[in-house]
Structure 1
Amino acid sequence: MPGKRTISQTTSPRRGLSPTALLVAGAFFMEFLDGTVIATALPEMARTFGVDAVDLNIGISAYLLTLAVLIPASGWIADRFGARSVFTLALAIFTLSSVFCGLAQSLEWFVAMRVMQGVGGALMVPVGRLAVLRTTPKNELIKAIATLTWPALVAPIIGPPLGGFITSYANWRWIFYINLPLGLIAMVLAWRLIAPLTDSERRPFDSLGFTSTGIAMISLVNAMETLGEQQPDVLQAAGLLILGSGALLFSLRHFQRSAYPMIRLDALKIKTFAVTLYGGSLFRASISAVPFMLPLMFQVGFGMDAFHSGLLVLAVFVGNFTIKPATTPLIRWLGFKKLLLINGFLNIISLLACAMLTPHTPVWLILLILYLGGVFRSVQFTAVSTLAFADVPAKEMSYANTLFSTATQLAVGLGITLGAISIRLGASVAQWLNIATIEGVDFRVGFVFIALICLAGMVDTLRLSAKAGSLVSSR
């Protein structure tokens, strides 16, 4: 196509942090923050709409389900219409729907706009990552991925206290209004910075694959949410799991046989990608449970108020932030396999340390444990996300990115469910051991279960060769 480059062409390498990566990371942060910041505003929003706070969960669910359905199609959309056009459109949809969320006068209006936000979010994250992956030289990939991963780590930590601050000192509607200036600036920068890359191959849209994958994602995400409820409907969850698993198996079989599948599975033949998809998904799920479990343990288990609980959890954010400059040197010094094993065990120890906390633990020690947990969490997250694409050829990057994004979406949803289930299992174990009177014991035992899941995810790392990802780590 005249005036546009195809994915087979390269761009000149950049030194330092790529402006495109910084822009995409900023857009990610806006989207991830929006998904977490409303948690503390739900009671106030419910009063505005004249409904119970629990009824507003449908707004969160509608957003997550829209992401789940549309993310698998994001690769085809980006290849057909170009990453720059799609990413800019995604920003426009997300920004406009944010304003309408703030203007909402009823629950129905709000839910409809959250679905619209989900459309923007489903295109923004995978297409933005794809734009960076396609234009970043392998030797700069660690820095680029580190830049893209910090929003997913930071937003869940600072979102709830920020939402509480805005709701307390302004109005919950400003949670959505602040996206307007940010979105407009991001749209201008996106059009200037992101290369208009398209795929020269005009493959047809895989309607059957899209439908079956959509059924699978909706069923599995709904099943996870059902299991995460206070009193889950086990039969309903089981039915959804069976339907979702069946649709997923059908989708995988279809992708292997179709001439033009929505998602090619070729990247699974690359060991580094497969390891980060299988074991890495367990790690991402366990890590996603931490921002959910820590505030609950401090408030429900230890009797703290929301403000002081939020201040303690900010230590995790500080750990995430301060280790970023050292992540690239660490990967290049140790290599991916050694780093993932060493840091993975340190991450497990930090989770077990959370299980040792009590209401009487000195504040300085709590802050130190959470800070170090943030450090280990950030390093592991960046290393896993970088290794996933280290050996993927440029021509397969779109399919690999779509598969990775879909798996990540499921892992994050599973993480919150695992957190809720772990807490309930902790309560059952405490009753069985006659230690239920110990303050916060159900949460503390829950952290042990999460640590075991993280350990299970590390087993896959042993399959890696010592030189895994050497093109990126230069080791």
Structure 2
Amino acid sequence: MSAPATAAAGGAASARTALAPGLILLYLVAMAMNGLDSTIVGPALPAIGAGLGTDAGATSLVESAFLVASAVVLPAAGWVGDRFGAFRVFVVGLLVFSLASAVAALAGSLAVLGVARAVQGAASGVLTPVGLALLYRGSTPADRLRIARWTTIPLTVAPMLGPVLGGVLAEHAGWRWVFAVTVPFGLLAAGLAVVVLGGRREEHAGEDRPLDVRGLALAAGGVGTVVSGLTIGLHRGWDAPSAWVAGAVGVLLCAGAVWAARRTDHPVLDLDLWRDPHFRRAGATVAWSSAALMGLLYLVPLMLQQGYGASPTAAGAAVFPETVGLLVGSQLVERLVGRVGARRLVLGGLAGAAGAFVLVAAAAPSLGPVGVGAAMFLMGLCLSQAVLVGQAASFTTVQERATTDATALFMAQRTLAGALGVVAAAALLGVLVDAAGATGDGYRLTVLAMLAFLALAAAATARLSRGALQAGFDADGGAA
């Protein structure tokens, strides 16, 4: 088993480099394109079914193929980035994503479209952690906080705009434009990548690290199957046995991946990173926060529609203020971490988010979508402080050469935690709604139950050694 891939924050000081505006712009374009493509297809599914002569249920493959493929390749992103070079992998990933988008736009059958979407998803699963590693490599905690602040905009806005743009294109231009619209942006990003990254030296490319095939099969199968179960539940309903079977099998495979990682010198996901309490606990803060957020985003539209009779439009509008709150909070975090301190900001953000969860449950019967929307804005505003500071702090003690592995593990645990939040919300909702009858009480209680995830996030933060969160930002002049 490899030695722990972490070191003191000052150990990477010699490798620190100034943030490159071109690299940041490249990542923004790539992630905006990626986020848009993950949600743009939904409104176009009926048109796709009609255009390809297939039933509407079968077209769910177009969405699920992207999500599952993205999850499957995520565990291998660290190995791929180190073996072939993060710069090279990022450029190739952009080209593959763009070409797959073009094939999807030209597809003449559902099978071809499904394969093209799977290739898109696979490229997406590599682009996200490898791109983040490119930005984080050699950066300081203050740099990483700025990166998180800047990248929040495309990462948040693009997925929210996806359904709107997808509906407009499908109705007025035809469903093929839903896929074609990302092609020029992908090619532009790939060309920009060649200009920005072409002259950079690949310090870690070609590392002679064997591929842990057994671990990759278990990890990819586990993450992919968990996401498959989640997708089945969302599309077919949570009473579908296949959703729970897939979820259970996925959990077992993930457990097997952990077992396998402990028995090889070169695991596909370097779990030795968890030996560093700073990486483990700061990462847990982000992961548990993501579980709470995803659970709430799943619950609120259902609560408003099924529990209180709101229209789909009103329910969707009530969720959107969370995005606005997240964007506003992301622009305040760098200033607040200097004035309040990182530890207080994270714990205060989690406490504020918990208060917002309570308001969501309390506002639903009395104020309806308007009150829930205001509470969702507060939740996004507060939770952004904890997530952005936690993400920036997670890599403070990670050695530069381990950055790609660390980002892959960070994204994998965050993805699984988000899936867990939705599954837990769905499972508990079924129990409580049956017990409470056809009222909103079951939904409100389930929303309040999501506070357990925020409590776990706060516990992880509290277990960080005194000053551990703040130290990295103080070293960069990021905090007073």
CA–CA separation in structure 2 for the residues paired with 1:53 and 1:343? 42
2:202 to 197, 200, 224: 197
Determine if contact 1:40/1:160 at 8 Å carries over to the other structure. yes
- What is the aligned partner in structure 2 of residue 381 from structure 1? 387
Render the CA deviation track for 1:396-424: whole Å, top value 9, x for unaligned: 22221121121122223333333433442
2:237 to 225, 230, 233: 230
In structure 2, do the counterparts of structure 1 residues 294 and 241 end up closer, same or farther at CA, with 3 Å as the change threshold?
closer
- What is the aligned partner in structure 1 of residue 356 from structure 2? 350
Question: By how many angstroms is 1:124 displaced?
Answer: 0.8
Residue 21 of structure 1 pairs with residue 24 of structure 2: yes
Question: Which shifted more, 180-189 or 308-317?
Answer: 308-317
In structure 2, do the counterparts of structure 1 residues 109 and 462 end up closer, same or farther at CA, with 3 Å as the change threshold?
same
- What is the aligned partner in structure 2 of residue 84 from structure 1? 87
Instruction: Tell me which amino acid in the other structure corresponds to 1:109.
Output: V
Q: Residue 364 of structure 2 aligns to a residue in which SS?
A: coil
Question: By how many angstroms is 1:363 displaced?
Answer: 6.3
- What is the aligned partner in structure 1 of residue 463 from structure 2? 463
% of aligned pairs identical?
25
CA–CA separation in structure 2 for the residues paired with 1:284 and 1:387? 16
* Paired residues for 1:249-268 under 5 Å: 249-268=255-274
Q: Residue 216 of structure 2 aligns to a residue in which SS?
A: helix
CA–CA separation in structure 2 for the residues paired with 1:295 and 1:278? 27
Q: Residue 237 of structure 2 aligns to a residue in which SS?
A: coil
Residue 179 of structure 1 pairs with residue 182 of structure 2: yes
In structure 2, do the counterparts of structure 1 residues 370 and 223 end up closer, same or farther at CA, with 3 Å as the change threshold?
closer
* Paired residues for 1:44-123 under 5 Å: 44-123=47-126
Question: How many equivalent pairs are there?
Answer: 460
- What is the aligned partner in structure 1 of residue 447 from structure 2? 447
2:334 to 321, 328, 331: 328
Question: By how many angstroms is 1:306 displaced?
Answer: 4.0
Residue 167 of structure 1 pairs with residue 170 of structure 2: yes
Determine if contact 1:335/1:467 at 8 Å carries over to the other structure. no
Render the CA deviation track for 1:76-109: whole Å, top value 9, x for unaligned: 1111221121111111111121222222232212
Q: TM-score, normalised by structure 1?
A: 0.87
Instruction: Tell me which amino acid in the other structure corresponds to 1:165.
Output: V
Question: By how many angstroms is 1:139 displaced?
Answer: 3.3
Determine if contact 2:68/2:225 at 8 Å carries over to the other structure. no
- Runs of 4+ in structure 1 over 6 Å off: none
Q: Residue 108 of structure 2 aligns to a residue in which SS?
A: coil
CA–CA separation in structure 2 for the residues paired with 1:360 and 1:51? 44
Render the CA deviation track for 1:260-308: whole Å, top value 9, x for unaligned: 2222222212222111333432221221233333334444444444444
Determine if contact 1:80/1:198 at 8 Å carries over to the other structure. no
Determine if contact 1:284/1:412 at 8 Å carries over to the other structure. yes
Render the CA deviation track for 1:432-474: whole Å, top value 9, x for unaligned: xxxx3x4x44433332222333333322222112312334321
CA–CA separation in structure 2 for the residues paired with 1:291 and 1:163? 20
In structure 2, do the counterparts of structure 1 residues 157 and 419 end up closer, same or farther at CA, with 3 Å as the change threshold?
farther
Determine if contact 1:351/1:447 at 8 Å carries over to the other structure. yes
- What is the aligned partner in structure 1 of residue 3 from structure 2? none
- What is the aligned partner in structure 1 of residue 374 from structure 2? 368
1:216 to 213, 222, 243: 222
Question: Which shifted more, 69-78 or 362-371?
Answer: 362-371
Question: Which shifted more, 444-453 or 317-326?
Answer: 444-453
Residue 287 of structure 1 pairs with residue 293 of structure 2: yes
Determine if contact 2:358/2:448 at 8 Å carries over to the other structure. yes
Determine if contact 1:158/1:314 at 8 Å carries over to the other structure. no
In structure 2, do the counterparts of structure 1 residues 364 and 287 end up closer, same or farther at CA, with 3 Å as the change threshold?
closer
Determine if contact 1:320/1:375 at 8 Å carries over to the other structure. yes
Question: By how many angstroms is 1:240 displaced?
Answer: 4.1
In structure 2, do the counterparts of structure 1 residues 226 and 183 end up closer, same or farther at CA, with 3 Å as the change threshold?
closer
In structure 2, do the counterparts of structure 1 residues 376 and 154 end up closer, same or farther at CA, with 3 Å as the change threshold?
farther
CA–CA separation in structure 2 for the residues paired with 1:257 and 1:472? 33
- What is the aligned partner in structure 2 of residue 33 from structure 1? 36
* Paired residues for 1:142-153 under 5 Å: 142-153=145-156
1:12 to 17, 38, 54: 17
Question: Which shifted more, 332-341 or 127-136?
Answer: 332-341
Structure 2 unaligned segments of length 5 or more: list them.
Answer: 1-11
In structure 2, do the counterparts of structure 1 residues 411 and 153 end up closer, same or farther at CA, with 3 Å as the change threshold?
farther
Render the CA deviation track for 1:166-219: whole Å, top value 9, x for unaligned: 334433332222101211211111122234434163222222221222232233
Question: By how many angstroms is 1:150 displaced?
Answer: 4.1
Render the CA deviation track for 1:42-98: whole Å, top value 9, x for unaligned: 233233233333322222222222122211111111112211211111111111212
CA–CA separation in structure 2 for the residues paired with 1:326 and 1:8? 26
Determine if contact 1:156/1:291 at 8 Å carries over to the other structure. no
CA–CA separation in structure 1 for the residues paired with 2:283 and 2:203? 26
* Paired residues for 1:401-420 under 5 Å: 401-420=407-426
Determine if contact 1:62/1:114 at 8 Å carries over to the other structure. yes
Determine if contact 1:166/1:175 at 8 Å carries over to the other structure. yes
In structure 2, do the counterparts of structure 1 residues 447 and 243 end up closer, same or farther at CA, with 3 Å as the change threshold?
closer
Instruction: Tell me which amino acid in the other structure corresponds to 1:335.
Output: G
Question: Which shifted more, 105-114 or 249-258?
Answer: 249-258
Q: TM-score, normalised by structure 2?
A: 0.86
Structure 1 unaligned segments of length 5 or more: list them.
Answer: 1-6
Q: Residue 141 of structure 1 aligns to a residue in which SS?
A: helix
